[in-house]
Structures are given as structure tokens and as C-alpha cells.
Structure 1
């Protein structure tokens, strides 16, 4: 129950979680939970629900002067966590991917999501690893799908580094430069929800389009059968 509460608190109030870690762990060890949360979200296909964008933004806010974190340390820790996380996910898929998918234990690995990522890889190739960095859930599954045979490791590593550095830099630096604005401080929770909404929007729009296309296809088939 404590573990569930921990994740709920983290999802709802990343700023409060980081503030608590700064107080309880100190200026050095506070980077440990920050590292592991990003690493686990990107590195283990079982945890796509962990906060990524909002955590990076909140850490950027605390990296401004007097916030308790150092901007360079924050960036480097998150760079390493993001890149190593995807790398771990890739190799887990290489060795255990088919077994994990066939087990059906990961409900989030739906045929629809798998098909959408297959489409992304077919259309954009390595850029899929970069693009999905900015899409919650899909950023957890993309390296897993890449590891099941869609991409060689050298190519994956290149796009993994580009995507990880771009993703971390964007959200941390936005928090760093704009987090101290009074309006942002006063409406932090709403802004975090907005960040999540914007991040999820492409996946949601894609799912709606796919559903509409599927319905149109079914209607066309039914019309042909009727004739």
C-alpha cells in the first residue's frame, strides 16, 4: 500500500516529491531517486505509467538558483538515466521480448499499440526512437519494439542518444528558465497537467484516427459484402 501511495503522490505532485527528497536525502543523494525513476520508466516495459515529462520539468524548477539542485548535475543525471534506460529496454526485448509479449502479462502491450509502433518504424525508421521520447507510454514501448528485431544496436544507440538528450534538455530547461515565474509557481499543478496533456495528445489523436479508419474499413467491407 505504501508503494502505491508513493507512486500516486509522485504522479500528482512531482514538485512536492522532489522537495521532500532534497530535505531528507540532501543535495547529493537526491539525484538517486531522480535517476531511477527516469531509468525505470524508460528501461522497464512494466512501468510506462511513471512520470517523465512532469518530473523533468519539476527538477528543472528546482535546478534554478536557490532551488537545491544544480542544473548541470540534473541534466547529466537525466541524460544518463534516459539513455541507459532505453538501452536496458532494448536488450530485455532482445532476450525476452517474444516471451513477454506472448505471456500477455503486460496489458499495455496491446495489439493496437504494437501495430502503431510498427507503423512508426516502417515510416520513420530510427526517428521513431526520437519522436516517441516525447510521447508517454510509447517512449517505454518503442525501445522494446526496436529490440525485438526492428533495428541494429548501433543505429538504435545513435537515435537513442539524440532522443534522450533532446527530451531531457527540453523539459528540464523549460522548468529551469520559466519555473520561477510567479504564475508558474502559483499554478504549478495545472501546468504539470497541461504538460502531460500535450505529451499524450499525439498518441490520443493517433488512436482516434486509427479507430476511425478501422470503422471506415469495416463499413466498406460490409458494403461490399452486401452487394
Structure 2
């Protein structure tokens, strides 16, 4: 199974993957792939497409009584992954950001997305790190852009911790408290896709607005 296929399948069925990891790795080592997926999504600008939101929700479901995971262990592991991931991303950008951007190897780091993040930083400042936690793609790029010169490390760390704890807690606890409801169990895949759709919606709307504004500007000329 190729890495792209693996992540697509994980996005479609996080519950199946977590169940398999619990059986194969046991109640302790199962947290290793969970940590790595969230860390890589937030920590490496090359992997903005990983299914963070749906994975957190599914892990919350398994953290309920009898699910195989412990709610406090789940929260702590994901808090650490989210905070350390963003910190890693920040320092990669601080040290190598200009070279990575100039190389053009990160195709998803488009001028449009960078301009959008620049706008976020100008408008919201450090809150951008919190806001973008809830926006796939942008949550991977925001700490990278912060590291290229938008924010000092102390200020970044404060917003990084607040954003990471809030993001993880929200999705994990929603899964923990509501995942056992029969209708959620019966329509789990649909709900996961809905979570992904809602998460992606702000970015999608932003792209449409940018395209419409660009067209209006062009027609105005």
C-alpha cells in the first residue's frame, strides 16, 4: 500500500485503522501511530493533507469506556503531538524556510495560500495560530509562515499551546461523549466525512472568494 493510498484509506475509515492498531499494538504502543500522524501533519509542511480532525474524533470514540483507549492518555498524547508538531514546523521555517519556498517543492504552499496567511497574520496576529488549527492545510502552513518572520518564538509558543490544546480537546471530547450514540455508530463514516467537509469549508470558501475577487478586479480593468 502506497503512502498516499494509506492516508486516503485512513481518512475514509479512521475507526477501522485505530481498531486494528489496538489489536496489533496493544493498549500502550497504539498511541505511537496516533502521535506520529498528528505530529507529521502539524510538524512537516510537506504533509498538509493528513486527516487530523477525523482521527481525533475517532480516537475520542475509542477512549470511551470499553473502547481500548484511555481518555487522559489520548488527550495528553495528542496535545503533545500538536504542540511539538507546530514547534518543529516553526523551527524548520526559521532555519530553512526561504530555501523551501524558493525550491518550489511544496506544491501545496501556493502564493495564494501564503497571501491568505499573510492576511490572517496582519488581521489577527498571534490568534492566527489558534484560528488555523481548525482549518486543514492552513494549520500546517501557519506555523511555517510564523517561523519565516511573522512572530517571535515566545509569543508563538503561547498561541501554539492554546490552539493545540483547544483543537485536540474539542474533537477528542466530542467523540468521547457522543461517539457511543447509536445513530453516530450506525453512520460513523458519513459523520467523519461531514467533519472533514466542515473543516475544509472555510478554506474552500476562501478560494472561491479569492477567485471571484480576482475576476472582478480583472473585469474592472
The two structures have a TM-score, normalised by structure 1, of 0.96
C-alpha separation in 1, matches of 2:209 and 2:198: 17
Give SS of 2:37's match.
Answer: helix
**Cα deviations by residue, 1:171-211 (Å, 9 ceiling, x for unpaired):** 00000000000000010000000000000111111111111
For residue 214 of structure 1, what is the aligned residue in structure 2?
214
C-alpha separation in 2, matches of 1:216 and 1:128: 27
Q: CA deviation at 1:214?
A: 1.1
Q: CA deviation at 1:5?
A: 3.5
Q: CA deviation at 1:6?
A: 2.4
For residue 162 of structure 1, what is the aligned residue in structure 2?
162
C-alpha separation in 2, matches of 1:190 and 1:65: 23
Q: Kindly tell me the number of residue pairs found equivalent between the two proteins.
A: 221
C-alpha separation in 2, matches of 1:167 and 1:89: 17
C-alpha separation in 1, matches of 2:139 and 2:53: 11
Q: How does 1:121-140 map to 2 (within 5 A)?
A: 121-140=121-140
For residue 120 of structure 1, what is the aligned residue in structure 2?
120
C-alpha separation in 1, matches of 2:4 and 2:166: 30
Deviating beyond 6 angstroms after TM superposition, the runs of 4 or more aligned structure 1 residues are none
Any conservation in 1 of the 2:7–2:51 contact (CA below 8 Å)? no
* Higher Cα radius of gyration: 1
C-alpha separation in 1, matches of 2:68 and 2:126: 37
The two structures have a TM-score, normalised by structure 2, of 0.98
For residue 45 of structure 2, what is the aligned residue in structure 1?
45
1:20 aligns with 2:20: yes
For residue 178 of structure 2, what is the aligned residue in structure 1?
178
C-alpha separation in 2, matches of 1:196 and 1:116: 21
For residue 224 of structure 1, what is the aligned residue in structure 2?
none
C-alpha separation in 1, matches of 2:145 and 2:108: 13
